[in-house]
Amino acid sequence: MIIDFIIEDLMLNSYLQKNFHTLTNSLYNEKNLIGRLHQYFSIYFKTFSSPAAETLFLLALSILAMESADSIRSLYRHFLSAITQKSLTAFYYACSYSKADYSRFMNVTASLALKLIPDSLKSQPVFFCIDDTMISKFGRKFEDVSKLFDHAAHNGSNYLNGHCFVSLMLCVPIWSNRRIAYLAVPLGYRMWQKKESKLELAAAMVRQVMPSFASQKNVIILCDSWYAKKNLACIVDEYPNLDLICNARADSVIYDLAPQPTGRRGRPAKHGERLSIKEDFTLSAEKIGDYYMGVRRVLTNIFGQREVLAYVTSTEKTGGSRRLFFSTIIPEQMQIFCAWQEKAPLNQTGSERMQFIPLLCYTFRWNIEVSYYEQKTFWSLCSYMLRSRKGIEMLVNLINISYCAMKILPYQEESFSKYRTESVQEFRFALSEQIRQQVFYTTFVRNIETSIKSSVVMKALKQLIRQQCWHL
């Protein structure tokens, strides 16, 4: 009896090996969930070779099915080996050595996100959020690993051994319960190498995606005080529809506007007197949100001779610390439906508060911090075990486009619409269950098709599969 069992097991393995190709075609049926996911992700891999495209799709599918990406080996052992004949080495090779340009992922995600904007909101501004995040790694065998200064001191020290990634996020307007909400979609990650600054890397990422935004009226970059420097600020002069709203160091040098020419001999003054954020800004009579606010037009070295708005905020009317912000866009240039906004205080902006709209829009920058938290905590962003820089960036960006799919698909496909108000983790959990069920039933039915001739059994199995509702 044991011998019979072993023989049957060997026959089953032999059968599976001969029918993997047919099994894969069955899984990619556009009527079921995996087929629709394949159709969605194929846009990202359009310029890749067929083997590389299929391998990378299977990796993305396994990330969704296993709800994590602890390592490629773990994904292969628990999921990939059951649905493909590809070896473990093929997946490592696709990440580290295949001729695949993953920088295109940003452009594809941006195009997909822009298509979600309803016609009634086409005139509303879209926002780029720029920031960087650190990932701690043990050992020195990872390419470009280095000692980095960590201002948050997550490990009890101000320095950590690891990688720094610069990322770009896009926020687009959508309708949510008859209010305007902004859907935040991270476009991509780039590993910082010390041969170029993070400012130059961020500017290059913006330049790469800006051609997709030629038809947008207002594209606004949001960044913290670390990125408020000339190397990034200069990019707003390259595109007529691009502006910048940023936090700045409280000790940044700001000047009053240049005085009118006096007619006397000599060069006219390039700027007025130096201003102080404590003495030269009049704060609002009442709090707007959590802060008192003041604003005036100024000149600053960061933006050269371009006039910008300087905003000062404080939690106290008199005394207390003050924060400084710059905006290259003035309220009159922004066409934003404040009354329809989902969140306060932007939706409470009356005529007397219109001058503070650019500053209130800065709150959208917090979305990038939320995405860092979610991807690090629930999507294994920090768990990569590849050594090469290209392999690490490929895997990190694969995780990112899988994360973005959970944000975009509920708005792209009506069958997923019930997950628009759910977290991306809830949606991924629902998908993972359906993916695993589909793989199981497809494999099960194909294995017994030639062994069981009973039409009654086959009919019952097919009815059971239909009841699983693969399309959610």
| Residue 412 identity | Q
Per-residue pLDDT reduced to its tens digit, 92-114: 999 999 888 899 999 999 999 99
| Three-state DSSP class for residue 152 | coil
CB 410 within 8 A of CB 420: yes
- Please tell me the predicted confidence (pLDDT) of residue 456: 58
The answer to whether 301 touches 278, Cβ cutoff 8 Å, is no
pTM: 0.87
**Residue 462: predicted pLDDT:** 62
R_g (Cα) of the chain, nearest Å: 27
pLDDT of residue 418: 93
Mean of the pLDDT values across residues 266-278? 90
DSSP string, 315-330: SSSSSS-EEEEEESS-
* More confident site: 423 or 158: 423
Distance CA 58, CA 75 (A): 10
Q: Tell me how far apart the alpha carbons of residues 244 and 233 are, in angstroms, rounded to a whole number.
A: 7
- Bigger pLDDT: 428 or 68? 428
Quick check: 382 and 136 in contact, CB under 8 A?
Answer: yes
Whether the per-residue pLDDT at 21 is higher than 80: the answer is no
| pLDDT, greater one: 143 or 17 | 143
Q: Which comes out higher in pLDDT, residue 150 or 175?
A: 175
pLDDT digits (tens, 9 = 90+) for 319-368: 889 999 999 999 988 888 877 888 878 877 666 788 999 999 999 999 99
DSSP 221-283: EEE-GGG-SHHHHGGGGT-TTEEEEEEE-TT--EEPPPPPP-S-SSPPPSS--B--TTTS-PP
CA distance 19 to 344: 57
Q: Do residues 112 and 46 lie in contact, with contact meaning Cβ atoms separated by under 8 Å?
A: no
**Secondary structure of 35-54 as H, E, C letters:** HHHHHHHCCCCCCCCHHHHH
Q: How far apart are CA 118 and CA 124, in angstroms?
A: 10
Backbone angles phi, psi at 48, to 5 degrees: -85, 160
In sequence order, which ranges of 330-454 are alpha helices (DSSP H)? 357-361, 366-378, 389-412, 424-448
Per residue in 412-459, pLDDT (tens digit) is 999 999 999 999 999 999 999 999 888 877 766 666 655 555 565 566
Count CB neighbours of 35 within 10 A. 18
Q: For residue 6, what pLDDT is reported?
A: 40
Q: Is the pLDDT of residue 227 over 50?
A: yes
Q: Which two tokens stand for residue 298?
A: 């100024």
pLDDT of residue 2: 42
Q: What percent of the chain has pLDDT over 70?
A: 86
